[in-house]
A and B are shown apart, each in its own frame.
Chain A
Amino acid sequence: MNLVTNNKWIGQRTIRPDGVDKVTGRAAFAADTNMPGMIWGKVLRSPHPHARIKSIDTKKAEALPGVKAVVTSRDIVDFPIEKGAVMLGIQDMRWMCRNVMARDKVLFPGHPVAAVAATTEAIAAEACKLIEVDYEVLPFAIEIDDALKPDAPILHEFNKFEGKPSNICGKLEHKKGDIAEGFKKAEVVIERTFTTRPVHQGYIEPHACLISVAADGKATIWSSSQGQFMVRAMTAYLTGIPQSDIRAIPAEIGGGFGGKTIVYLEPLATLLAKKSGRPVKMVMTREEVMRATGPTSGSKMTVKIGATRDGKIVAAHGIFYLQAGAFPGSPIRGAAGCSFAPYDIPHALSEGFDVCSNRSKVAAYRAPGAPIGAFAVECVMDELASALKIDPLEFRLKNAAKEGTKAVHGPVFPRIGYIETLQAAKNHPHYKAPLGKFQGRGVASGFWFNAGGESSAQVNITEDGNVVVTTGHPDIGGSRAGIANICAELLGIDYRRVSVIIGDTQTVGFSNLTGGSRVLFASAMVVTQSAEKVIQTLRERAAKIWNIDPEAVKWENGAAHPVSPNAGQFEPLTLQELAEKAPSQGGPIGAGVQLNTQGAEGGFGTHICDVEVDVDLGIVRVIRYTTIQDVGRAIHPGYVEGQLQGGAVQGIGWALNEEYIYTKDGKVDNPGFLDYRMPVCSDMPMIDCELVEVPNPKHPQGVKGVGEVPLVPVMAAVANAVHNALRIRFYDLPLSPPRVSAALDAQVQRAAE
């Protein structure tokens, strides 16, 4: 495929199409829409981490004046467990139907058991209190170790592992060579066990929806999600309404990071709206978001890597236990699959175990699983480099995956830019900058698969010769800006003449989730092919007007030109002129393309982190941070950098502070932003970015996904920096002040002995 070179708009920091709406408060997020006659929905949630529901009595709630509808699991379509998996993407509807509303058991505090719609929020909340649920309280297990004990309470009695009832609900294995043989050749071996805590995606916009169901049964959904088609399909599955009767309109989305790739409220609000005959609005509180949505998995991992004295890795073994929460589905594929991907390892075994426990069902979080596994692998890499007395970047360079390397997770890499990120890190002024007292520097690398998949686009020329592009992906971080740049480039017009719209499910073709770092990769493909069809039409129209062959017409700078003087002497016909002539020359001009896109290539990044430790208080502060990533091609560098910077800061939060605190009775004790401490502006330094551009040869503009890689290396980079500052290795996250203080005290104690 020919790459577009000499660009006018690709690579420019244009103003995003939805920008003005978002700086003036006009943009409509999910909670910003109201309807006449609208009522409010509320969810009654389980107070217990684990209990059997013996009965639910909703009569008193239904009798409360103002209450218009009540739903329980009886109203939700059941997907019986024994009938086997019903997959929608990576989600099994058997778990989804039980996650949106508990059936026989509640599995975490916050698990929905009923929902009410009433004329006011206050009445709906009051009605929830009148619902009588008779629970048989059961013992619970939250941490992985507790869930794996021989006498652990079993969440799903039907599930067996190695023949016995177990909370291990799945296993995945990647194998290359023979690790027993490999480790025999190792001269230095490091084996360590790590834990990470579950962390929430932390989007600032709580889940919200407004749903109207007409008398003929047709439903309209306004909600913010990472995929209006996912919302439509899941709501259809769980309510029994055909997909053709559900119009899911994507509101602007206030952050998702993977956490909005499944539904929570939409099926409940649809059923409430259907029962009540009134539009129903539901908005989660922050507390509900923290108790009942997301997070990503906590983990327990053991990683062993062996190398020869000259620094060649000969074998690696990783065992990754990830918490799935209430239902199977932790991201073991990301942990076991991505962690060793940066390296050329002859013998490797990577095993992932999916462990259920009594906390909310995990949802995707930015490169799901990969940052967890990378924390373990990249910390062992640091320790190994140190044992071998090799610079950590040099050690990675000696073992770096490159074109032709067979990855532990299977594929043979095409041309990739990992080595370039390592070289850029080595050459970066940051890597050579001096460090002060109690300061340290760490590096780490990371990989994410990236993704292609289904996308649709429509490119229409307006009657006045401008352009409207419709795609089917919610824009979570500036993808409309990238699409505008690409479309303007191809059509040779100013980007401000391109309007980019996110279509609803009934107006644009099926488009898979905004996730996997797939949106610009996939939508650029369908937009490019649509624009090429439009250009073909424009050339044909000009050819007809000039009465020459379409092959003798070229499209340049927003106008049709004869390819050469031989083709004829004609004044160029601009897009506006051709649009104005359209009615008499064959009708409207536009084209749509629907594809299952292929050719997404994985992405690599390398980060450099400097920390300073307050040894009296145990506070770790990141004082300098540099992200380096192979981004394929930066279509809009501002929003590419934004992905790198935002990912780095999420990782710093994960490394240093973020964790759920549990009460003894199994409830989250910090379900708010005050106590669940995400990074704030004053915690952070500027985040430097270096964009390495190794274009993806399988994409018309060279695009690779960029959104997820930036979270992968961060926790290891921070932990390695803290080691460099204190000479203390930390194997458990977060590196919060109590943990760092305790380690410093122990260090003093050891020195004294």
Chain B
Amino acid sequence: MAKVHVTTTVNGEPMEFLCEPHETMLDALRNSLGLTGSKEGCASGDCGACSITVDGRLICSCLMLAVEAEGHQIGTIEGMSHGETLHPLQQKFLEHAALQCGICTSGMLVASEALLKKNPDPTEEEIRFWLAGNLCRCTGYDKIVRAVQDAAAEMRETAR
């Protein structure tokens, strides 16, 4: 089958790529666009390591077809920091040792950023339920939750 031409925006940059009609957005990001920060842990939407945003909405890119990116705004982990300036979530993940192996970290950060955009002051329970779609096998989640709480507090402070 002929490949499909897709025009989209990734992390604010206009981008285009060719994909198979059945190809996932995750594969397009990783293989066609060279954005390997999004990871494949399950390909079934259970682990969240491939989390991206589409027009600001958090999704698993392994459950999205690449052709669906046409005309939409895609956000990935590669767009989270601004040059050498890390996003507060990235900085707090480092300070709190909220990552061990790091394979879930991209997805955790993208998901956490999406949470804080919706809810700048989440409770521990709200963080835990929001991140329930992001598996981490290393940390036991404790330090991840604390890093998100700390980043949220700092971002609220900065926004005041």
CB pair A24 B134 closer than 8 Å: no
In Å, the complex CA distance between A206 and B46 comes to 14
Most buried by B among A23, A205, A253, A672: A23
In Å, the complex CA distance between A20 and B95 comes to 11
A729, CB-defined interface residue at 8 Å: no
| Nearest CB in chain B to that of A286: its residue | B42
| Nearest CB in chain B to that of A643: its residue | B100
B103, CB-defined interface residue at 8 Å: yes
Chain A proximity of B3: nearest CB distance (Å): 12
Interface string of B119-160 (1 = CB under 8 A from A): 000001101110111111111111111100000000000000
In Å, the complex CA distance between A286 and B103 comes to 14
Interface string of B26-40 (1 = CB under 8 A from A): 000011000111111
CB pair A25 B36 closer than 8 Å: yes
| Nearest CB in chain B to that of A30: its residue | B103
CB pair B97 A646 closer than 8 Å: no
CB pair A680 B140 closer than 8 Å: no
Chain A proximity of B131: nearest CB distance (Å): 4
| Listed stretches A11-19, A52-60, A345-353, A528-536; interface member | A11-19
CB pair B142 A687 closer than 8 Å: yes
Interfacial residues of chain A within 216-262, with CB under 8 A of chain B in the complex: 252-257
Q: Which of B35, B39, B135, B142 contacts A29 (CB 8 A)?
A: B39
| Nearest CB in chain A to that of B127: its residue | A681
| Nearest CB in chain A to that of B107: its residue | A204
Chain B proximity of A78: nearest CB distance (Å): 34
CB pair B138 A255 closer than 8 Å: yes
Q: Which residues of B contact A205 (CB under 8 A)?
A: 39, 41, 101, 103
CB pair A641 B97 closer than 8 Å: yes
B61, CB-defined interface residue at 8 Å: no
Chain B proximity of A705: nearest CB distance (Å): 15
Task: Contacts A645-B140, A684-B128 given; indicate if A25 touches B37 (C-beta within 8 A).
Answer: yes
Interface string of B77-120 (1 = CB under 8 A from A): 11011000010001001111101111111100100000000000
A524, CB-defined interface residue at 8 Å: no
CB pair A681 B144 closer than 8 Å: yes
A496, CB-defined interface residue at 8 Å: no
CB pair A20 B137 closer than 8 Å: no
In Å, the complex CA distance between A25 and B77 comes to 6
B76, CB-defined interface residue at 8 Å: yes
CB pair B105 A204 closer than 8 Å: no
| Nearest CB in chain A to that of B141: its residue | A681
CB pair A638 B143 closer than 8 Å: yes
A521, CB-defined interface residue at 8 Å: no
Q: Which residues of B contact A647 (CB under 8 A)?
A: 140
In Å, the complex CA distance between A636 and B41 comes to 28
CB pair A672 B36 closer than 8 Å: no
CB pair B80 A477 closer than 8 Å: no
A203, CB-defined interface residue at 8 Å: yes
CB pair A25 B38 closer than 8 Å: yes
Q: Which residues of B contact A636 (CB under 8 A)?
A: 97
In Å, the complex CA distance between A228 and B97 comes to 25
Task: Contacts A204-B135, A638-B143 given; indicate if A24 touches B81 (C-beta within 8 A).
Answer: yes
In Å, the complex CA distance between A648 and B124 comes to 19
Q: Which residues of B contact A747 (CB under 8 A)?
A: none
A196, CB-defined interface residue at 8 Å: no
CB pair B139 A646 closer than 8 Å: yes
In Å, the complex CA distance between A32 and B105 comes to 15
B47, CB-defined interface residue at 8 Å: yes
A64, CB-defined interface residue at 8 Å: no
CB pair B100 A24 closer than 8 Å: no
A595, CB-defined interface residue at 8 Å: no
CB pair B38 A649 closer than 8 Å: no
In Å, the complex CA distance between A674 and B47 comes to 9
Q: Which of B76, B78, B100 contacts A646 (CB 8 A)?
A: B100
Chain A proximity of B52: nearest CB distance (Å): 11
B64, CB-defined interface residue at 8 Å: no
| Nearest CB in chain A to that of B125: its residue | A682
CB pair B44 A642 closer than 8 Å: no
| Nearest CB in chain A to that of B35: its residue | A25
Interface string of A637-667 (1 = CB under 8 A from B): 0110110011111100000000000000000
Q: How many residues of B contact A (CB 8 A)?
A: 57
Q: Which of B105, B131, B137 contacts A678 (CB 8 A)?
A: B137
B43, CB-defined interface residue at 8 Å: yes
| Nearest CB in chain B to that of A122: its residue | B20
Q: Which residues of B contact A650 (CB under 8 A)?
A: 137, 140
CB pair B47 A15 closer than 8 Å: no
CB pair B142 A24 closer than 8 Å: no
A478, CB-defined interface residue at 8 Å: yes
Chain B proximity of A284: nearest CB distance (Å): 10
Q: Which residues of A contact B142 (CB under 8 A)?
A: 641, 645, 684, 686-687
Q: Which residues of A contact B139 (CB under 8 A)?
A: 642, 645-646, 649
Chain A proximity of B89: nearest CB distance (Å): 8
Most buried by B among A15, A283, A286: A286
Q: Which residues of A contact B25 (CB under 8 A)?
A: none
CB pair A674 B46 closer than 8 Å: yes
B54, CB-defined interface residue at 8 Å: no
CB pair A681 B42 closer than 8 Å: no
CB pair A13 B97 closer than 8 Å: yes
| Nearest CB in chain A to that of B134: its residue | A681
Task: Contacts A25-B78, A31-B40, A645-B142 given; indicate if A18 touches B129 (C-beta within 8 A).
Answer: no
Q: Which of A26, A672, A681 contacts B131 (CB 8 A)?
A: A681
| Nearest CB in chain A to that of B137: its residue | A202
Q: Which of A26, A481, A681 contacts B145 (CB 8 A)?
A: A681
| Nearest CB in chain A to that of B138: its residue | A646
CB pair A254 B145 closer than 8 Å: no
Task: Contacts A16-B94, A23-B93, A641-B97 given; indicate if A681 touches B102 (C-beta within 8 A).
Answer: no
Q: Which residues of A contact B30 (CB under 8 A)?
A: 31-32
In Å, the complex CA distance between A29 and B105 comes to 12
Q: Which residues of A contact B86 (CB under 8 A)?
A: 20, 23-24
Interfacial residues of chain A within 1-41, with CB under 8 A of chain B in the complex: 13, 15-16, 18-20, 22-29, 31-32, 34
A285, CB-defined interface residue at 8 Å: yes
Q: Which residues of A contact B81 (CB under 8 A)?
A: 23-24
Q: A29-B39, A645-B140, A678-B135 are in contact. List 20 more A-B contacts (CB 8 A).
A: A16-B94, A20-B90, A31-B39, A203-B101, A204-B103, A205-B41, A205-B101, A252-B103, A254-B102, A477-B101, A641-B97, A642-B97, A645-B141, A649-B140, A673-B41, A673-B46, A679-B141, A680-B134, A682-B129, A686-B146
20 A/B residue pairs, CB under 8 Å, sorted by A:
A20-B86, A22-B102, A24-B77, A24-B78, A29-B36, A29-B39, A29-B102, A31-B30, A32-B36, A204-B103, A205-B41, A252-B102, A641-B97, A642-B97, A642-B100, A647-B140, A673-B135, A674-B46, A681-B145, A682-B132
What are the 5 closest A-B residue pairs judged by CB atoms, nearest first?
A: A25-B37, A254-B103, A638-B97, A649-B140, A22-B102
